[in-house]
Amino acid sequence: MLNLKDKIIAVVGLGYVGMPLLNAFSKKYKTIGYDINQKRVEELKSGVDRTLELNNNQLKEMDTFYTTDINDLKCANIFIVTVPTPIDSKNKPDLTPLIKSSESIGKALNKGDIVIYESTVYPGVTEEICVPCLEKTSGLKFNIDFFCGYSPERINPGDKEHTVSKILKVTSGSTPEIADVVDALYKSIITAGTLKASSIKVAEASKVIENTQRDVNIALINELALIFDAMNIDTNEVIEAASTKWNFIKLKPGLVGGHCIGVDPYYLTYKAEELGYKPNLILNARHINNSMAGFIANKTIKTMIDNDIKIKGSNVLVLGVTFKENCPDLRNTKVLNIVENLEEYGINVDIYDPWVDTNESNITFNHEIIANPFKNSKKYDAIIVAVAHNEFKNLKDSDYDKILNQHIIIDIKGIVNKPTWRL
């Protein structure tokens, strides 16, 4: 087996996945952190991680070289790719970041090097799309001059308990020997252990179904919420009752956004349809989950009308805009869909989120994040509690009443004591 002791590891893509991984590897190996975003690299060099995945002390302790110059990676032996794999406007996989990063790595690739991909893809992407890019720009031959591996990322943004080293890692390699090397590499930093898949395609498939399964399960709960709302039954009470059975999977209805759950299923459905199979269950689940923002917006408007509030020109406050609680991650947040639906009716919408950098929000989605509304005198016709940040869990009825014209609170997350309506 290849000796890992003196190897230099380059992590390509320094976001929510790349930085925790880089931090873990930097404790045992020489590391290089590469990103095309100059601003991001400069922030990290100055000891700031705006994703909040790493604190200042963790950044200071890292002995890592940061760069935006691909030539600086020529000394690396192992490349780990953690770039995003988004979808386009038609919900088709957008492999541009993966292709461009592969082309760049090819320029720094030397004989004997290993390229490991962590980005979520459909089965076959590593060997059928990434490898040709590496061969083209490097002039080297796959499985002769260089090798590949795939180890799907399992990072949970904002989760300080299930950190990268505490989550079991699936590994794979392009040859049996390389599979052993990749497994040993991750085993050296993952205390939870590893599982070596029989092939890269199996590892790719395992990742894409993790979030697909969760998406389908949440869609079922969301559809039940729609049904129970029509019946005037509290969905959360139903779930609490049903969950007393040992094998009931306890999930809550809500918005499905973020970097994984709302995106990954489309990678699988794309490949399935390409092969001639229509994945109706998965696609219908996606449709249900994507429709929840519109349902919540319409429910807000109906509730306001029922309380004799003029819709056009009314003021609504949305609490929270990140895709999940206690995290600054704005990727694919569905709260914005609620905001946009309300604005179509001429409603003035203010967004407050203590976890979001106001400068970052303007860059990301062109919506202003206001200062703490509970410290101002502005009154609102309704409040939507969209994200279960700890700051919002601690709010009292009196806090809401201070800034409301009437007590109209739409509670998406089940954290308000006396909401007008709860999902």
Q: Indicate which residues carry an active-site annotation.
A: 260
Please say whether the beta carbons of 76 and 62 come within 8 A: no
CA dihedral 44, 50, 54, 58 (to 10 degrees): 40
83 alpha carbon, distance to own chain's centre = 12
> How is residue 187 written in tokens?
């085993």
Q: Residue 247 phi/psi, 5° resolution?
A: -105, 15
Q: How far is CA 32 from CA 48, 51, 67, 191, 410, in A?
A: 17, 19, 8, 22, 47
Round to whole Å and give the CA distance between 176 and 181.
9
Q: Residue 388 phi/psi, 5° resolution?
A: -90, 50
What 3-state DSSP class applies to 315? strand
Sign, CA dihedral 262-265-267-269, equals negative
Q: Residue 350 phi/psi, 5° resolution?
A: -105, 140
State which amino acid sits at residue 329. Answer: D
Round to whole Å and give the CA distance between 369 and 352.
5
Q: Residue 70 phi/psi, 5° resolution?
A: -60, -25
Round to whole Å and give the CA distance between 324 and 13.
22
Please say whether the beta carbons of 298 and 292 come within 8 A: no
Please say whether the beta carbons of 169 and 190 come within 8 A: yes
State which amino acid sits at residue 306. Answer: D
Round to whole Å and give the CA distance between 219 and 285.
5
- 115 secondary structure, DSSP code: E
**Sheet strands side by side (includes 64-67):** 64-67, 30-34, 8-12, 78-81, 114-117, 147-150
> How is residue 3 written in tokens?
């000796």
Nearest CA-CA partner of 50 in 388, 321, 330, 338: 330
